[in-house]
Amino acid sequence: MGKRINVLAGGPKEKWPDDIFEQNGDWIGADRGAYHLLKAGLPMVAAVGDFDSLDEGENVELHDYLKDDQIKVYPPKKDYTDTQIALLAAFKHGATDIVLYGATGGRLDHELSNLTIPTQDEFKHLAGHLSIVDNQNTITYLDVEHQVVNKQPGYKYLGFMPLGIVDNFKIIDALYPLTLSVNSGKMYSSNEFVGELVHTDFDCGIVLVTQSNG
């Protein structure tokens, strides 16, 4: 049986789903996301980041709330973003499924960085295991080993975006099938499910999948 870990990044609260704190699984806070978890009274298996978005009093609160081995402070100049560090921490704590919240909205550079994490070599293994969720969308990722999309309750629209080179990409049994011999690097949006599953097929690469409502 898989182990779910939820990660809360520091994106704006307005983009959170209403039931964010009713989810199953353990929690990891990334930077200000850790402080939001503190304020919600939720336990954390870890809090990571440079915490430069917290003032001195909030930092003291967070350190008082957690044990020393639960919090890891990184310098502002580092190779990974706070969110990436949190995802690595989730795997260190045995996650087989990671759900990332607070990763959309706010600064566009942060959002784009979060959405394209699985394209980096050290994070490609996230395909099939990572979901990014906000109040209107669920985002997942496909690779050659994970090519089936499961319909999530409450969503109508389905979109596919090849990230980089994706050879011979096919959307097989959605409302609008598609076959591409050459990836054109665009979003194929406003598709829909016919049943509970949509099958795809491609030879290499990463495909971002969106399920959206409204």
Give the structural domain span for 15: 1-135
Q: Do residues 145 and 187 share a domain? A: yes
CATH number at residue 188: 3.40.50.10240
Residue 126: predicted pLDDT: 94
Q: Show the tokens assigned to 155.
A: 């969503």
To 5 degrees, how large is the angle CA 195–CA 207–CA 98?
Answer: 85
Q: Do residues 37 and 94 share a domain? A: yes
Q: State how many domains the chain has.
A: 2
Give the helix, strand, coil percentages of the chain, each rounded to 5: 25, 30, 45
Confidence of residue 61 (pLDDT cuts 50, 70, 90): very high
Q: Do residues 113 and 157 share a domain? A: no
**Residue range 70-117, pLDDT digits in tens:** 999 999 899 999 999 999 999 999 999 999 999 999 899 999 999 999
Rounded distance between C-alpha atoms, residue 39 and residue 58, angstroms = 10
Tell if the pTM clears 0.85, that is, is over it: yes
How far CA 175 is from CA of 76, 181, 198, in Å, comes to 46, 20, 9
Average pLDDT, the chain: 95
**Residue range 115-147, pLDDT digits in tens:** 999 999 899 999 999 999 999 999 999 999 999
Q: Do residues 191 and 201 share a domain? A: yes
Of 112, 135, 158, the residue that ends a domain is 135
Q: Do residues 187 and 108 share a domain? A: no
Of 94, 113, 135, the residue that ends a domain is 135
Q: Do residues 83 and 155 share a domain? A: no
What would you report as the CA-atom Rg of the chain, rounded to the nearest whole angstrom?
A: 18
Of 108, 135, 162, the residue that ends a domain is 135
Q: With 90 as the cut, is the pLDDT of residue 155 above it?
A: yes
Our separate counts of H helices and E strands in the chain read 4, 14
Q: Do residues 42 and 142 share a domain? A: no
HSE-CB at 92 with a 13 A cutoff on CA atoms is 13
Q: Do residues 34 and 104 share a domain? A: yes
Q: Do residues 127 and 159 share a domain? A: no
Q: Show the tokens assigned to 57.
A: 């009093």
The SS3 call for residue 193 is coil
Q: Do residues 42 and 98 share a domain? A: yes
Q: Do residues 172 and 92 share a domain? A: no
Q: Do residues 131 and 154 share a domain? A: no
Residue 164: predicted pLDDT: 87
